[in-house]
Structure 1
Amino acid sequence: MKAIMEEMSDFKSKRLRLIQTKLMEVLDFLSDYLPLVNCHSNDFILNNHWDTFLSQPIRKELDSLSASELKSVLSEKLNTTESQHIGGTSTDCDLATWKFRSQFLEKAKTGCDISEIYTPEMQKISPHWVHENLRSFLQDVRKCHLQNSDILSCIENQDEDINIPLQDSVFISTFMNQKKTHEVDVMGEMCYRLAQKYDINLVVDLGSGKGYLSTHLAFQHKLHVIGVDAQNINTKGASKRADILSRQWEGLTRNEVLRAEKSFAGKLSKKQKKLLKKMEHGRDIEQRKEMDKSTALCSVLSDEVYTDFSSFFEVHEKTVADKISPDSNEGLMLETSSHKENFPFSVNSEENVEGKGQQERKTLSAKVSMDTECVVCEDLPSDSRFTAKKQNTKSSKLKANHHPVTMYIHTDSDLSEIVDRAMNLNPSDDLSETSAVHRNAEETGVSISAIPSDGQKLNRGSIMLTGLHTCGGLGSSIIRLFVNSKDAKVLCNVACCYHLMKEEFVASPFEEKDDTNEAPGFPLSNFLRKNKVGIGRQARNLASQSVDRRAHDEEVLAKQFPRMLLQVILRDQLGYVKSDWKGLRKLDQKSNGMFDYVTRAFTKLGLPTEGISEELVASYCSKYQDQKRKFAAFFQLKTALAPCIEAVILLDRLCFLLEQEFVKDAKLLQLFDPVTSPRCYGIVAVKA
């Protein structure tokens, strides 16, 4: 055992060194181009980005490219024979002595080690171009991609490692678009297989939104799931969605099975549905015949054995008896479907017999099926009338697996508090004792089926944290929560919106409006924190650009051109522009032409529109028409750097996890198709 532990530790150390080496290489490459990735596209014309941020040889090459050649800038693949570490092979000595250096950040650094890179002066500093031509630049860019590293794990290999057979079930894609269907299908299967391998009995879905992933895990894979979201409107939406799905799940599953078997193509007609019901009715008859055979055997059992069997219902009868007045004369009769002999379960110790003239005695009959799934109650007298509903129908069972809750997740969040609040249990209750759980469930109104049963408990170390596209700071918070919580055993997370998280060593242009209590989401690892690494908000915003989608576009477009032209008009008309002017996003898509867009923008910003005319706007369009093609080429080149920045963010998180002694392993996988879902990388981590 000791030898195995040492081997695992050695493997983890080698993997950590590999990730640190890759981080060092990518950051060394990016450090020279931080001014380029942090310039704002809106100021392309205003600040002459074409001449400021591109070297003369690069400008000349981009200008000479045809439309098809410009499109191929993002789609060309790296020649594997040229794939090697940037700057040669690194050693452990390099890692120990490496220091992150960037002239751009050094010039912007304040007295407190925070770089203020979004001042007007800093936004005009040129990058240090170390590449003399476009080909060498793009080659080094692609060497920084995660796909071209030895770090990215293959999802097929991960499946083999988990070694859990796929479920023989169909995927229900109702209420989801194509993108979300793809994401939920793949990540749901990954979470299920991880839960099976590591004996997970509870999944906490952070940033669950409308509950797409959490309801899928609860309904499709029968896992107990807590869906946590900071917005109450999302929690209500998730609950409503679960209600609808629980009522329709059986029909949806049936229809999908038929389509999978190609029994019926497309949407089912009324005739096809009737035929299907007849088929199901036939199966029900066969099941009843089998049940009759079983109950026939029960009728010939000895009284002693039958009495032992009947004791199974004592808990339920006690619950019903507590709800019935002790003065009432009702008794409970057990009746099987084939054996008509009654077995009384009297509420009082002595049997009460009603005389003539009194209200006729009514009995509460319980038809017990072989799977003891439900209890059907007849009416009681008016003085002790109550309605006993089916507690364990298929829909209620499914819905009982899903627990949406509204809660803001931050650095100091407590996982046990999240679980207790979602389950509506008192944190002081002992969850290890089933009787206590059931007792508390009755008091609080929580369905007992909502709590792991059949011997399962909320054991420490049996919780999985997951999140499908955890936005901004939540992406780093879920990793911190996994590390800090002793209850979390497995992590499976896909992040997005990197620009919305906070950096420790680079100030945001909207710092005064940011949540000052929010912990920095980058960097997380000690390796980067000790080097005071920063990349900038615009760079993180660029990391959210989809290289694969842009590479599949039919032509290279300058979609931001109207906003860039507006920036020039604002400067010329007012004599200034403000960085905090907001509310113009996608306004051009709602406008009918450039003139309409400009007048709408001025009105939105509360500015006078008297000096704006169609002739004026038309003159600007004509004057800067050549800038449209230049910006398309500029943005194409800039977008090529997006995967490099995303690599730094994700490798930093992976490095942070592997730095933790109790984390057994952490992997980075490409879960989704990058064209369908641009934020396609997931982090899977397991504690020892």
Structure 2
Amino acid sequence: MVNSARCSIRQPDHLRQGEPEPPGRQTSQIEHRGNFPSFGMSRSLGSLPPEPAAETVASRLRAVAQFLRRAMPLCQAHTVEFYTRGLWEQLVAVSPETVLEVLGGAGLLRQQQRPLEEAAGTGRAGLWDNCKFSNVFCENSLKLVNVQFFALAAKYHSLPSLEVCTPLEQMLGALSGKQHERCEIKTDEFMNNKKSHEVQKMSELIDSIANFCGIKQVIDLGSGKGYLSSFLSMQYNLKVYGIDSSNTNTYGANERNRKLKKHWGAYQSRARANVRGQVLEEPKDRAVQDEIKCRANINEKLLSTNNSLLSQDQTASSDSVPLEITGAFTDSAMLKTGKQTEPHLVTQTQSDGNKISENTFSLLNILPADAVEAVSSSKCNMELCEEEKEQRKMASIKAKASKSNDSNIYLPLTSYVTAETELRDIITDLEDCIMVGLHTCGDLAPNTLRIFTAKPEIKAVCSVGCCYHLLTEEFENQKDCSPGLWGFPMCRYLKEEGWCCGRNARMSACLALERVAVSQVLPTESLFYRAVLQVIIEECYGVIKSDQHVGKIFSKSSSFVDYVRKSLKKLELDESKLPDSCIMDYYEKYKHRMNELEAFNMLKVVLAPCIEVLLLLDRLCYLKEKDNITWSGLVKLFDPVKSPRCYAVVALKK
């Protein structure tokens, strides 16, 4: 059982100093509902949104850990050993048909869509009382005995139910105030749908944080091919350093960024062409308006002098007066417009102006400040009044200043980053910045948070982790539990508990529950092939463990026999000793038990979000333990069907 050790709770400044609570400030209060407190919120300084209180995060973490202690044998089991270790008989006390009836087909989707209260047949206050561990797992054998309660308990310990996430819309609204519409570049022109979705969502949040903090520099750790970095620099005019450990990725990012700049140049070229056309049209439009005004003024004066001469003076004004006053009409086309009626001239001028604005608005909206060059002409300047000349002069100065700052750059760099990395050795002009990471693998995600808390220049962090199976664990290998910076655990509570997930459980955390619920696609046949192959390897070759891996042979195989023979060759085992008939005998022996493997995988898929919750809350608790952080929380950035690793750890310093 989990003991009562807690994460270190950081109290608000006014409470630590013994001061009374200021008016209007809301401290976190824990309101108990059953075994879970409500989403205790503490209002941070400025216009930041409410954040989950440290007490609330710690409470949720302990509850998830308690549930997973009983469910961990399912998570830690490897499907490769499903038949060789008899995992179904060892861990599950119900039939595979029962599991598939509850979770198979549309059952999993129904479980995901049903409210917790409805599924439990009770209010939330008494929910967990009806989901005691004894109702899910047998107290003596520890086997799973109730699939319905198992699914309910797993859903109860997933992030959407724990109420510790800040909605993206709330985060953006608080950071940016009123949201302004902006024309976005169509990222799907040079990214796939998944990457386009991720880059657009994450870059919008990063830009809002950067604006809120008043910073222009971004460090993208594990930048890979540079999609996010390029987009941040071009779309949001930020100075981005993309750091990746792979020279190949850095080279590819440089090449891709070069191509994207060409794509970007097309927008700029069209914008310049439209702007030049607009500038050249402005004197003509202004001259027509001046002509109309002059006519009106002269007509008014002549009317007061002698009504009998009105018609002659009007004719003269339409032919000669505008030329004398403006002194700039040399275009014969402009002379012809003077013969048009005044209402028609006004309507045409407004229509042309609106048309030009519509054509240039979308392009100008997506360009950096220095993308459009001012078009000047001595001929045009003759029609400008002093006020307009001053306005254009100031605009030109601002454009040159923006260009000289060269703020919208992206520089890919190659470096292997650890928690001890000194950023100034990599980035010579390091300044106040935000550190980001989109699907950073393994330890890079927790190390990103460690660097953020240690470096005063880094004012904010936005990190989306990935590849949990590549995390290092402090307590996974008991022989090597020396002090160090491990990927897991990070917070004090799990360290004190000596918590260990194991590689198989961390691999299970990468399963995509939402995708399975929508499409019901599980690689059952390929997993079945591999599990039966393991039986053959152990029984026919006496190999229990091997450092070699089969890899992705299933998709290249025409049959089970072909799969086995290719796998044996790759494992450097003599495949000639096994006739085809012997291989098929193994297939026929286990074929009727394929539904056991399918049902077992469904159980692991249902548990996947709970393991991910443990890893994410561990990181959030770590941030809550630090005193120099103003705001920290989890933000659901992506659609989990499009991008299963959809949660960002976000934090801002004081």
**Cα deviation code 1:145-175 (max 9, x no counterpart):** 1000121111111122113434512223132
Paired with 2:629 and 2:475, the residues of 1 have a C-alpha distance of 27
What is the DSSP-based 3-state SS (H/G/I as helix, E as strand, rest coil) of the residue aligned with 2:592? helix
Match of 1:413 in 2: 421
1:68 aligns with 2:76: no
CA deviation after TM superposition for structure 1 residue 59, in Å: 4.9
Match of 1:153 among 166, 179, 203: 166
What is the DSSP-based 3-state SS (H/G/I as helix, E as strand, rest coil) of the residue aligned with 1:684? strand
CA contact (8 A) 2:84 2:535 kept: yes
CA deviation after TM superposition for structure 1 residue 285, in Å: 2.6
Match of 1:526 in 2: 492
1:580 aligns with 2:580: no
TM-score (normalised: structure 1):
0.66
CA contact (8 A) 1:78 1:143 kept: no
CA deviation after TM superposition for structure 1 residue 621, in Å: 1.7
CA contact (8 A) 1:67 1:555 kept: no
Question: What does 1:267-346 align with in structure 2 at a 5 Å threshold?
Answer: 282-283=277-278, 285-286=280-281, 338=378
1:562 aligns with 2:529: yes
Distance 1:4-1:283 versus aligned 2 partners, 3 A rule: farther
Letter in structure 2 aligned against 1:576: V
CA deviation after TM superposition for structure 1 residue 519, in Å: 2.5
1:35 aligns with 2:73: yes
CA contact (8 A) 2:112 2:155 kept: no
Match of 2:448 in 1: 478
CA deviation after TM superposition for structure 1 residue 248, in Å: 2.2
1:44 aligns with 2:82: yes
Distance 1:76-1:613 versus aligned 2 partners, 3 A rule: farther
Paired with 1:202 and 1:149, the residues of 2 have a C-alpha distance of 34
**Cα deviation code 1:636-664 (max 9, x no counterpart):** 01211101100000001001101101111
**Cα deviation code 1:9-54 (max 9, x no counterpart):** 7538971111111111111111012221101111111111111111
Paired with 1:189 and 1:85, the residues of 2 have a C-alpha distance of 40
1:235 aligns with 2:250: yes
TM-score (normalised: structure 2):
0.69
Match of 2:435 among 456, 465, 468: 465
CA deviation after TM superposition for structure 1 residue 566, in Å: 1.1
Paired with 1:236 and 1:161, the residues of 2 have a C-alpha distance of 38
Question: What does 1:331-480 align with in structure 2 at a 5 Å threshold?
Answer: 338=378, 371=396, 401-420=409-428, 459=431, 462-480=432-450
**Cα deviation code 1:76-133 (max 9, x no counterpart):** 53433544587569xxxxxxxxxxxxxxxxxxxxxxxxxxxxxxxxxxxx99537642
1:169 aligns with 2:145: no
Distance 1:280-1:615 versus aligned 2 partners, 3 A rule: farther
CA deviation after TM superposition for structure 1 residue 226, in Å: 0.7
Paired with 1:548 and 1:64, the residues of 2 have a C-alpha distance of 18
Letter in structure 1 aligned against 2:466: C
CA contact (8 A) 1:50 1:630 kept: yes
CA deviation after TM superposition for structure 1 residue 599, in Å: 1.3
CA contact (8 A) 2:52 2:633 kept: no
5+ unaligned residues in a row in structure 2: which ranges?
A: 1-12, 15-20, 29-41, 44-50, 131-138, 288-375, 380-392
What is the DSSP-based 3-state SS (H/G/I as helix, E as strand, rest coil) of the residue aligned with 2:506? helix
CA deviation after TM superposition for structure 1 residue 217, in Å: 0.4
CA contact (8 A) 1:74 1:636 kept: no
CA deviation after TM superposition for structure 1 residue 286, in Å: 3.5
Letter in structure 2 aligned against 1:169: C
Letter in structure 2 aligned against 1:62: V
Paired with 1:485 and 1:574, the residues of 2 have a C-alpha distance of 54
Q: Which has the higher helix share?
A: 2
Which is worse superposed, 564-573 or 80-89?
A: 80-89
Match of 2:58 in 1: 20
Distance 1:209-1:200 versus aligned 2 partners, 3 A rule: same
CA contact (8 A) 1:33 1:127 kept: no
Paired with 2:644 and 2:235, the residues of 1 have a C-alpha distance of 25
**Cα deviation code 1:361-419 (max 9, x no counterpart):** xxxxxxx99836999xxxxxxxxxxxxxxx9989x958x61111111110201233332
Letter in structure 1 aligned against 2:559: G
Match of 1:79 among 92, 97, 116: 116
**Cα deviation code 1:324-354 (max 9, x no counterpart):** xxxxxxxxxxxx9639xxxxxxxxxxxxxxx
CA deviation after TM superposition for structure 1 residue 232, in Å: 1.0
Distance 1:15-1:58 versus aligned 2 partners, 3 A rule: farther
Distance 1:6-1:665 versus aligned 2 partners, 3 A rule: farther
Distance 1:253-1:179 versus aligned 2 partners, 3 A rule: farther
What is the DSSP-based 3-state SS (H/G/I as helix, E as strand, rest coil) of the residue aligned with 2:537? helix
Match of 2:307 in 1: none
CA contact (8 A) 1:62 1:70 kept: no
Distance 1:415-1:528 versus aligned 2 partners, 3 A rule: same
Match of 1:495 among 441, 465, 470: 465
Superposed CA RMSD:
3.7
Paired with 2:457 and 2:485, the residues of 1 have a C-alpha distance of 22
The total of aligned residue pairs comes to 501
CA contact (8 A) 1:155 1:671 kept: yes
Match of 1:357 in 2: none
Distance 1:31-1:588 versus aligned 2 partners, 3 A rule: same
